[in-house]
Amino acid sequence: MAIAFALLVSAEPVTIGAFSLALRELSISTYICQEAVGAVRLLNRRKFDSVVVDLQLGQQCGLIFDALHLSPSNRTAVTFAINSSDVEATPAFRSKTGFVFARPFSPKSIRSTLKPAYGLILRERRRYFRCPLSSPVTILRRNMPDVRCRSVNISEGGMAVSALVPLNAGEDVQVQFTFDGRQSYLPSNDN
C-alpha cells in the first residue's frame, strides 16, 4: 500500500526505472510522465506529495515548476531535480527545488537523498489526507442547471467529485451533499 504519491517527469528509461524502484522501496507510488504537457495536466488534476523533474527535459522544466508552484494542491509538494553534467541546474531551477540528484547516480545515492526528504514527504501527505467517500453530491450553479454527481474523497481542503458535466474554473458554485445523515453545503472558491 502506498503511503504517498510522487510525480516523476523524465524521458530516460534508466532514470525512470531507478527512481521508480527507490520510491517504491519507501512505499511511494509513482506516476510517470515523459513530457511537460502531460506533467502539467497531472499537476492540475491530482495531488502529489513529491515531484521529481529530470532537468534533461530542458526548458520544459520551467513549465513544470511554474505549474507546480501555481497549483493550490501541489505548491507545497517536496520537489527534486535530477541534474547532470551537461545540463546545469540554473539558479532559477535551484530556487524551485528542495533537493537535487546529481548524475551519475546509483541506487545508493538516490536513497541517500530520498531518506532525509522522507519525513517532509510524509508531512505533506498528512497535510492533505483524503478520506475516501462515495456519496451523492449536487453542485448548485447560478443561472445553470444543477449537476448531480458523486464524491470521490474529502479532505480538510475540499472534496473531489466525479461529474459527467465539465465545470469551469472559477465558476461560482455551491456543493450540496449528505454526510452522516446531515445535509451539508460547501461554498466554492475555485474548482
pLDDT for position 91: 55
105 in the same domain as 30:
yes
CA distance linking residue 34 with residue 148, whole number of Å = 35
pLDDT for position 95: 58
116 in the same domain as 173:
no
Question: What is the tens place of the pLDDT at every residue in 87-133?
Answer: 555 555 555 678 888 888 898 999 888 988 888 887 776 666 677 78
Task: Please give the residue range of the domain that contains residue 123.
Answer: 4-127
pLDDT for position 191: 44
117 in the same domain as 138:
no
Q: Which of 95, 110, 127 is where one domain is finished?
A: 127
Q: Which of 75, 97, 127 is where one domain is finished?
A: 127
Query: In 3D, which of 173, 124, 171, 67 has the Cα closest to residue 53?
Result: 67
181 in the same domain as 148:
yes
90 in the same domain as 14:
yes
Mean predicted confidence (pLDDT) in 52-80: 89
Mean predicted confidence (pLDDT) in 51-59: 91
Contacts 24+ apart (CB under 8 A), 162-169: 163/139, 167/139, 167/191
Q: Are 55 and 79 in contact (CB under 8 A)?
A: no
104 in the same domain as 33:
yes
Structural domains of the chain, count: 2
Average pLDDT, the chain: 83
86 in the same domain as 61:
yes
Question: What is the tens place of the pLDDT at every residue in 1-18?
Answer: 678 899 999 999 999 999
52 in the same domain as 138:
no
Q: Which of 127, 142, 169 is where one domain is finished?
A: 127
121 in the same domain as 59:
yes
114 in the same domain as 60:
yes
pLDDT for position 126: 64
